[in-house]
Amino acid sequence: MTGLASALSSALSGLLVTSGQSAVVSRNVTRASDEDYSRRDVGLTVNRDGTAQLGSYTRSEDKTLLDKVLTAKSRVGASAIALTSLEILSSTIGDPQDGSSIAATLHQLQQSLSDFHDNPSSRIFATEALTAARSIASRLNAAAADVAKVRSEAHAEAKSSVQKINALLTELKPVDQAIRSGVPGTEAYLDKLDQRDGILKLLSVEIGLRTVYKSDGGTAIYTDGGLTLFDVVPRSIEFNLDAPIVSGLAGPSLSVDAVQLNGGSPELAAKHGRLAGALKVRDGITLTYEAQLDETARSLINLFAETDQSATPVLAPKTGLFKYAGSPAVPAAAILVPGLAGQIHINPLFDERSGGNPMLLRDGGSNGMAFNSNPAGTSGYQQRLAEMTAAFDKPSSYNPAAQLGTTLSIKQFAEASASTVETERSTASRLLNEAQATSQRWSEVLLSKSGVNLDNEMASLLALEKSYQASAKVMTTIDQMFGILVGIVN
């Protein structure tokens, strides 16, 4: 093609292309700070006649990097919630060195019993021992309440996470449809890809996932355990029943894509993400810690239990200083009684405030004369106090569910419990730091690959401006030439 009209048309196509390209640059610049936005570029196609036109739009993307970011985000999601819960637990159980910790109050109780033992006739020492006993009971009650609170918060967290996952999956459906039916290379298509990546990023915080990009452009999402979350349509995640959290038992089971995760296939459950973290706190960390508190309380009740003092004992042992819901029966050794730490309290018969007699601590017999080891009322009677003081250091059996070993003394048990929580807390804190560092690092790498670099955009804007000027100049010249031509005709 030759001729002035064709020249004009070429110059016009140059103008159109340049303005199209600057629209892309300006969009890049506008959304430079948007992490979910991937840099756009537009290609040129040259027609047979030499005119140029805007070709397909491309988007800087790296699916492998995106997958890394998604995995890292899930790890952060899981670790963050574990750390928060462990920090609360750690503060309730307290530092073993701190006077207010359970281990320290146990130590105080033993100390005041020992003091009472040295002055068995002194009511003042008896009262002091009782105060120490009361403080440990309330300490255990408070810790049990805190654990229950952390559990129910974790459950609420899991519920909110499930709602968010369902909402995000529902949001993904029209985006996925638009991608599958869309025309690659158009701006609308790329916008949908951005939206999809944004949703995936949010989703990965909630649940660990794996994505499969299909040939028709659609995305299938699976949990990191392999269950289907999204494929053409969202699969639902739901709690089967909104039952209350019962101490000692795992919470309501979760079903993903009609698979009960508490059932026979735990390996299919998600391993990372806020939901997995919350469930681990709800049914793992807190359950173990709750068992430790219950076992501490049970051991304490057993320690202060009263036995039949007859020459030939016929009566079963009964609870003494410490009582619980099952009193006067004594809880069996090494059998976990869920919720015991929340029930433990001082027997009012010992409590001066409610008209009781603290000296029962020395003699026993709160359950009747058969249980009194000092029926003569000797004021210097020390044997029972000596036995009880020594029992604090005597190994006894514990339930394996507490995960602290099965044969150890109550003091060792309480200390081990505190240090386990502390160790887990510091591990969780380290994991979170690592996960955050990894997540940040991958996000930065992804951003540097697919994000907008303002320097580059400005440089290309300058180049586009020059090219626009040149095309415009060509048009002016052609216009003048037409003027000359038309002038000749006159």
Partner 1 sequence: MSLYGVMRTSTSGMNAQSSRISAVAENVANANTNGYKAVRTEFASYFISGNVSQYNSGYVDVNMHRMVGNQGTLAATTSITDLAIQGDGFFVVRNSNGENMLTRAGSYQTNADGQLENTAGHLLMGYPVSTGNGAVVVNGFAGLEPVTFDSVALSAQPSTSGLLQANLPANATAVVPANVPSANSAGTEFAAKTSMVAYGNLGEEVMLDVYMTKTSPLQWEVSVFDRAGVGVNGFPYATGPISTAALSFDPANGHLLPTSSNSITVAVPNGQSLTIDLAKTSQLAVGFSVQDADINGNKASAADLVEIANDGTVYVAFEDGTRLPRYRIPLATVPSPDNLDALSGNAFGVTTRSGDFRIGFSGEGGFGSIASGVLEQSTADIASEFTDMIDAQRGYTANSKVFQTGAELMDILVNLKR
Can you give the binding site for partner 1, defined by CB under 8 A?
1-6, 9-10, 12-13, 16, 47-49, 51, 53-54, 176-183, 210, 212, 214-216, 218, 220, 222, 225-228, 231-233, 235, 240, 255, 257-260, 263-265, 267-268, 481-482, 485-486, 488-489
Q: Provide the minimum distance between the beta carbon of 471 and partner 1 in the complex, in angstroms, as a whole number.
A: 14
- Which residue lies nearer to partner 1 by CB, 272 or 362? 272
- Which residue lies nearer to partner 1 by CB, 35 or 238? 238
For 248: left if phi > 0, alpha if psi spans -120 to 50, otherwise beta; the answer is left
- Which residue lies nearer to partner 1 by CB, 369 or 484? 484
SS3 335: coil
- Which residue lies nearer to partner 1 by CB, 28 or 255? 255
- Percentages helix, strand, coil for the chain (3-state, rounded to 5) are 60, 10, 30
- Which residue lies nearer to partner 1 by CB, 8 or 349? 8
Phi/psi of residue 289, each to 5°? -65, -35
Beta strands in 240-298 (DSSP E): 254-256, 259-260
- Which residue lies nearer to partner 1 by CB, 391 or 472? 472
Q: Provide the minimum distance between the beta carbon of 57 and partner 1 in the complex, in angstroms, as a whole number.
A: 13
Evaluate whether 206 touches 273 at the Cβ level (below 8 Å).
yes
Other C-beta atoms lying within 10 Å of the C-beta of residue 125: 22
What is the Cα–Cα distance from 462 to 29, expressed in whole angstroms? 13
What is the Cα–Cα distance from 84 to 431, expressed in whole angstroms? 13
93: which 2 tokens? Answer: 């159980």
Q: Provide the minimum distance between the beta carbon of 482 and partner 1 in the complex, in angstroms, as a whole number.
A: 7
Evaluate whether 399 touches 393 at the Cβ level (below 8 Å).
no
Q: Provide the minimum distance between the beta carbon of 242 and partner 1 in the complex, in angstroms, as a whole number.
A: 14
Task: Note the residue count of the chain.
Answer: 490
* Closest alpha carbon to 158 in 290, 277, 285, 287: 277
The count of C-alpha atoms lying within 13 angstroms of the C-alpha of 185, restricted to the half-sphere facing its C-beta, is 7
What is the Cα–Cα distance from 460 to 442, expressed in whole angstroms? 27
- Which residue lies nearer to partner 1 by CB, 49 or 465? 49
Q: Provide the minimum distance between the beta carbon of 207 and partner 1 in the complex, in angstroms, as a whole number.
A: 15
Q: Provide the minimum distance between the beta carbon of 232 and partner 1 in the complex, in angstroms, as a whole number.
A: 4
* Closest alpha carbon to 372 in 329, 315, 324, 333: 315
What is the Cα–Cα distance from 434 to 439, expressed in whole angstroms? 8
Q: Provide the minimum distance between the beta carbon of 435 and partner 1 in the complex, in angstroms, as a whole number.
A: 20
- Which residue lies nearer to partner 1 by CB, 76 or 256? 256
For 318: left if phi > 0, alpha if psi spans -120 to 50, otherwise beta; the answer is beta
- Which residue lies nearer to partner 1 by CB, 242 or 267? 267
Q: Provide the minimum distance between the beta carbon of 352 and partner 1 in the complex, in angstroms, as a whole number.
A: 55
Q: Provide the minimum distance between the beta carbon of 61 and partner 1 in the complex, in angstroms, as a whole number.
A: 20
